[in-house]
Amino acid sequence: MSQVGTLYIVSAPSGAGKSSLINALLAEKRDWQTQVSVSHTTRAPRVGEADGEHYHFVSKEAFKKLIAENAFFEWAEVFGNYYGTSRVTIEQALAKGIDIFLDIDWQGARQVREMMPQARGIFILPPSRAELEARLNKRGQDSAEVIAKRMQQARAEMSHFDEYDYLIINDDFDTAREELSAIITAERNAQNKQAIKHRTTIQELLAE
């Protein structure tokens, strides 16, 4: 029996630094068997986006066929486009012992945990609402109107932090990255995972 990977559901309001923290951890821990889940979407690729790397870009007809086949852990329609998380792709990766980061909101997290209750949830919060708004403005990606809407949504999103197993306050980026790394390390050292990984050693230690 090989060691099975862990599915990490990571949620945060826009601008809290969720994607930056995950990418920084992956860059630092290149020897870890860890990857980010790549979602399916029906929206058109943006400049610089590659199929299979940023998203799996599919037609609406293909997406609806996948829905009918129960191929998604969770899916949603956002502003006329569909987004979904492939169940088969994640299950195959986990079976190989690969840890998966799933970047979704709290509603998607609920859907995933219904199908995979052993998944671990990590919620990332900003140090303050003022700092969150400052980060959104600094990105320079959204208009003032869009940022105002994101700030309105943020409070509702953040109220669901207590549905997760771990909480990180992203005040100092390096500290938050270390805390994320510590969570993964602790999960990998859980008794059930270590018992599988080191079963030969344990058998020898307990032999009469």
- Residue at 65 is within a domain: no
CATH at residue 110: 3.40.50.300
pLDDT tens string, the chain, 208 residues long: the values are: 567 899 999 999 988 999 899 999 999 998 899 999 999 999 988 888 899 888 899 999 999 999 999 999 888 888 789 999 998 889 999 999 999 999 888 988 998 999 899 999 999 999 999 999 999 988 877 788 888 888 988 999 999 999 999 999 999 999 999 999 999 999 999 998 899 889 999 999 999 8
Contact (Cβ atoms closer than 8 angstroms) between residue 75 and residue 67: yes
Q: In angstroms, rounded to a whole number, what is the distance separating the alpha carbons of residues 195 and 81?
A: 44
Contact (Cβ atoms closer than 8 angstroms) between residue 135 and residue 15: yes
Which residue range(s) make up the domain with 103? 7-37+97-206
- Residue at 113 is within a domain: yes
Q: Output phi, psi for 72, to 5 deg.
A: -110, 145
- Residue at 150 is within a domain: yes
- Residue at 33 is within a domain: yes
- Residue at 179 is within a domain: yes
Q: In angstroms, rounded to a whole number, what is the distance separating the alpha carbons of residues 78 and 80?
A: 5
Confidence (pLDDT) at 2: 60
- Residue at 83 is within a domain: no
Question: Domains in the chain: how many in total?
Answer: 1
- Residue at 80 is within a domain: no
- Residue at 116 is within a domain: yes
